[in-house]
Each structure stands twice: as C-alpha cells, then as structure tokens.
Amino acid sequence: MAWQKLLQTEYHLPHRVYLFDTTLRDGEQTPGAALKPQDKIRLAEALDQLGVDIIEAGFPRVSKGEMEAIKEIARMGLGSKICVLARCDKGDIDAAIDVGSEWIHVFIATSDIHLKYKLMMSREQVLERAVSMVEYAKSHGFTVHFSAEDATRTDLPFLIKVFQEVEKAGADSLDIPDTVGTAIPHIMKRIVAEVKKAVKIPVAVHCHDDFGLAVANSLAGVEAGAEIVHATINGIGERAGNASLEEIVAALKFLYGLETNIRFEKIYETSRLVEKLTGITVPKNKAVVGDNAFAHESGIHVHGVLGSPLTYEPVMPENFGRRRRIVYGKHSGIHGVEALLREYGFNIEREKIGRVLSLIKEIGDSGGKVSEETVLNIADQVYGSKSPERSKVLGLRIAKADSEYEAFCDISIAGEQVKGGGSGKTAVLASLSAVLDAVRKLADVELLDVKIYSTHDDRHPAEAEVEVLVKDVKAVGRGLDIDPAKAVVSAVTSAVHQILVSQSSIRVS
C-alpha cells in the first residue's frame, strides 16, 4: 500500500501485535449462545491451531460445565496461553486457581455510571479493591491481565490512576475495554496514548461493536501503541458483538504491514467451526469470512477479476483459506457466463452464450435468483443435443416416519445413474444422507462442509453449498431450490460430479 510508510513515521506502531481471543468467553456471552464443554474444547484446539496468543477460555464462576471445560482446556498443553475471567472478587479468583490456567483476566468497572448503578462503590473503594485483588491473583502465581470495565466512559485521570496502581500491585498487562462501543477511533487513540505514557506494561484494547466501530477502534488503539487486541471469531459477543478477529488480523497484515502469529489459511475453517458450534450465522456480506466476501456478479467486475483478481479484490481469497466465486444474475456479463460454460465443457459459441445471458437477465429482472445449476440448465436448452453430459437430480422422495424422515434420491452423475436412501431428524438431513449414500456407490466421498441459506419465503429459494473430498481432491457444489432438501441434494451431486469428471479413474470398485 502506497501509504504504509507514512504509518511507520506518524504512529507508534508495535512491531508485533498479540491476539487475545475471547470467543470462548465474551463470544459465548452472545445472547442465545451456549457451548457444551466438548465444543469449547474443540474450539480451543482450533484457536490454538489458528495461532492466537491468548485464549480466554471462559468465566469459571458461571457454571460447573464451564469450570470443567476450562480445566480440560488448561490441561491440554496448547501453545496459546490459557486465560480465565474473574471479577475483582476473591471467590472468582479462587475458582480460577482451581482450573489451573496460567493467565487470569481480572476486571472491575471504573466509570461513574457503573460505580453508581451497579457496584454501589466509591472510586476509592474501586481502586482499593482492584489493587488488593491484583495482589491476591499475583500471590497465586498468575500472569495478571487487568481490565478497567467501561474504561472509555471513565474519567481519564481516574482511569490512569487505577492503571498505575494495579501496575504497582504487579499486573502484567492492562486492558482498555470500550464496553458499550461508544468510543470513536480518534478518542480510542487518545485514551490509549495517554495510558501508554503513564504505564510501562503492555496495553490491550477490547472493543464492542454497538456503533459498528469495534474494528476501527481496535486498530486506532494499535496506532497509539496497544500491543494486545481482544477479539472474537466472526465478531460474536454481547449485543452487537466484539471486534472481529479475522477483520483485525487482515487489516494488521495487509493494510498496516504488522506481524501477528495468526495462520491466515486457517481463518475460514475456524470461522465456520464457530458458526456451526454456536449456531450464530455469519452475515453474507461480512468481510473476510462472509459468503460474498470473494463473490462477484456484475459483468464489469467479473471481466476485471478474470483478467486479474487485483482489479476488484484487495487480497486473494486463498490467503484466508477461501475461494473466489462467480455469481450469476441480472448484473452478469458475457465473460462470466463464458467462463462457466467453458468449465463445464460447452463449445464456446458467442451467439448461444448471448442467448444464455439474456435468459439469465430475464430471471434476474423478475427478481429471481440464478445458480450455476440454473445457468447450466438454460445452456442445456440453448445448446440442445450439443450439451455436454452433466449431473442431474432425477428424483427425490421424502417421507415422515415416526420421529424421523426418510429420503430416497435418484441422481445421474458422471454418466451413471445411482440411487440412495437415508434418514435423519429433518427432511434436509435425511436427503443429505440419501445423496451421500448414492454418491458413495461411485467414490469414497467425504463431506467436509455444508451451508444452507433458507429464508422460508417463496421469492428467495434456499441456497445450499457443500464441500466434498474424494481422495485428495476437493470440490464445492451449489444448489438452489425453493426446497432446501432438493438444494442440498443438487449441491452434493454437482460437487461430486466435478471431481468424477476430472478424475475418471477414482472409482471405488
């Protein structure tokens, strides 16, 4: 970036930024989210693999299950440091001692609003409590990370006094939470700069997204010298959430040119795991991990990207373990359609492709959605007998049997017709199991990922996206249908077909 050199001269950038991941604590505080102990353990492993420096594994005082999960995480010998949350309260710190983590994150609110309406304490009492609890935690051998809750709404001289006193009491690092997301980047920078002048230990920022500024505020904190950033995967967290880890690390690396320990290629799979285990869906347009983050529809953009992705992508999707996606609709242009038809073995005939494009635009103009499958079906009509062989869902039958659904499907794939059956708790799960049963008659298919978007209205069909693995080859298939069960069957069929036609020698028997 042309302006990156300016950053080094104008700001107090740290050489390396440490990521304090709070997905398992603040992230789990998302209204409606609750992770089972085994899910927390699985996510801790994933966060460690991702390379976060510190995992805030939870708040031991919350429940027995929480306590057991954190104990297990602390015992796993992960590379990331394991931290637990505790109020400035002896009982909380004792619970943290029991779980055996190396780090403790102790906090107490410092803003007058919290003092008056929540803690019912004076500033002197808060200061005294903060100091004594940091000393208590230190005396038990913890690495102590101290947060002044609601720091950005705290009287700045008082905030600085609290930080200086807890530093003297032995705190190893400090955190400035923007608890209700009311800071603006300029102010965050000022607060961090003032705190940095007043203390010697590392400083963190912890930003919430109530005004959509969590990432911008976190980065402003780094510009002022904060060495540690708190964040959550997919930005999950209380109310509007926390700063998104994936957005922060992407900006630090690609915009600021700063180092972190993050393995970027693991970002997408970690995001998907958090989405699956928490049930909190990532919005399509979310930066880095959203479904549309590397998708292009408009003819102008697709033409540019096919020439060089640099035209309309700031960084390549592969950096984050993702792939580019061309989407079809009323904004499509000839180049995108041509690229798809070429990939599926159609002869490139300009006049026919032009007809396919007009039909796509007609669907788009009527408010309809167009999948790859739709484009290929249109092309089949336009090309007639000159159409290349493709996969097709010939039939899907679903029946409700007691508490389960049963599904039977009949598909044509790589020139073969196969049938499969399966059952599941929903029609979609039964259909997924049926189509897997069918395709496994042709190859060793492993299902890596399934995503279904369904709006339950007849204007917007359900979209299914699956990723499969056959031997070492991966493919993504998509299906679009008003019935999500059919969408998932055509997505699996299409993904497996892509692999089978490119590797006709991988038959099981």
Give whichever of 88 and 418 is closer to ligand KIV, judged by the CB atom.
88
Which of 464, 466, 470 lies closest to 499 in space, CA to CA? Answer: 470
405 binds, among Zn ion, ligand KIV, none (CB under 5 to 8 A by kind): none
Q: CA Rg, the chain, in Å?
A: 27
Nearer to Zn ion, 29 or 433 (CB): 29
Of 217 and 494, nearer to Zn ion (C-beta) is 217
Question: In this chain, which of 101, 110, 147, 232 binds ligand KIV, going by CB under 6 A?
Answer: 147
Taking CA 459 as the corner, what is the angle to CA 454 and CA 461, rounded to the nearest 5 degrees?
A: 35
- The neighbour count for residue 343, using CB atoms within 10 Å, is 12
Cβ closest to ligand KIV, residue 208 vs residue 497: 208
Range 207-226, binding ligand KIV (CB under 6 A): 208
| Interacting residues toward Zn ion by CB under 5 A | 26
Question: Residues 355-394: x/- map of binding to ligand KIV (CB under 6 A)?
Answer: ----------------------------------------
Query: Least CB distance from residue 376 to ligand KIV, whole Å?
Result: 49
3-state helix, strand, coil in the chain (%, to 5): 45, 25, 30
Q: Which does 196 bind (CB under 5 to 8 A by kind): Zn ion, ligand KIV, none?
A: none
- Report the relative pairing of strands 295-296 and 325-326 from DSSP bridges: parallel
Residues in the chain: 509
Both tokens assigned to 393:
């869902």
Question: Which string of DSSP letters, residue by residue, matches 384-431?
Answer: GGGPPP--EEEEEEEEEETTEEEEEEEEEETTEEEEEEEEESSHHHHH
Beta strands in 303-384 (DSSP E): 325-326
What letter does residue 282 receive in the DSSP assignment? P
CA distances to 312, 380, 415 from 388, rounded to whole Å, are 32, 8, 10
Q: Pick the closer one to ligand KIV by CB: 96 or 485.
A: 96
> What's the closest the beta carbon of residue 22 comes to ligand KIV, in angstroms?
7
Q: For ligand KIV, which is the closer residue by CB, 26 or 463?
A: 26
Nearest approach, Cβ of residue 207 and Zn ion (Å) = 8
Which residues in the 94-113 window bind ligand KIV by CB under 6 A?
Answer: 107
Closest approach of ligand KIV to the CB of residue 108, in Å: 9
What does 107 interact with, of ligand KIV, Zn ion, none (CB < 5 to 8 A by kind)? ligand KIV
Q: Closer CB to ligand KIV, residue 207 or residue 432?
A: 207
CA distance 205 to 276: 27
Note whether 267 and 320 are within 8 A (CB).
Answer: yes
Residue 422 interaction partner, one of ligand KIV, Zn ion, none, beta carbon < 5-8 Å per kind: none
Greatest Cα-to-Cα distance within the chain, rounded to the nearest angstrom: 85
Q: Which is nearer to Zn ion, 86 or 418 (CB)?
A: 86
Position closest to Zn ion via CB: 26
Residue type, 73: I
Query: Residues 1-40 vs ligand KIV: string with x where CB under 6 A?
Result: -------------------------x--------------
Q: Which is nearer to Zn ion, 27 or 484 (CB)?
A: 27
CA 241 – CA 286 distance, rounded (Å): 13
**Contacted entry of Zn ion, ligand KIV, none for residue 149, CB cut-off 5 to 8 Å set by kind:** ligand KIV
- Is the Cβ of residue 131 or residue 466 nearer to ligand KIV in the bound state? 131
The verdict on 344 binding ligand KIV (CB under 6 A) reads no
Angle at 425 between CA 423 and CA 431, to 5 degrees: 45
Residue 400 neighbours by CB under 8 Å, 6+ apart: 406
Relative orientation angle of helices 334-343 and 372-383, to the nearest 10 degrees: 80
What six digits make up the tokens of 194?
């003032």
x/- letters, 160..179, toward ligand KIV (CB under 6 A): -----------------x-x
Q: Within 10 A of 314 (CB to CB), how many other CB atoms are there?
A: 11
Q: Token pair for residue 126? A: 């808060």
Query: Among Zn ion, ligand KIV, none, what does residue 110 contact (CB within 5–8 Å per kind)?
Result: none
Of 23 and 431, nearer to Zn ion (C-beta) is: 23
- Whichever of 184 and 506 has its CB closer to Zn ion, that residue is 184
Which of 28, 149, 209, 372 contacts ligand KIV by CB under 6 A? 149
259: number of Cβ within 10 Å: 12
* Contact of residue 147 among Zn ion, ligand KIV, none (CB under 5-8 Å per partner type): ligand KIV
> What's the order of all strands across the beta sheet hosting 404-413?
392-401, 404-413, 416-424
Rounded (10°) angle between helices 37-50 and 64-75: 40
CB 270, min distance to ligand KIV, A: 21
Give min distance, CB of 147 to Zn ion, in A.
9
Residue type, 77: G
Q: How far is the CB of 149 from ligand KIV (least distance, A)?
A: 4
Report in angstroms how near the CB of residue 237 gets to Zn ion at its nearest: 6
Reported as type and span, the H/E element at residue 54 is: strand 54-58
Name the site residues for ligand KIV (rule: CB under 6 A): 26, 107, 147, 149, 177, 179, 206, 208
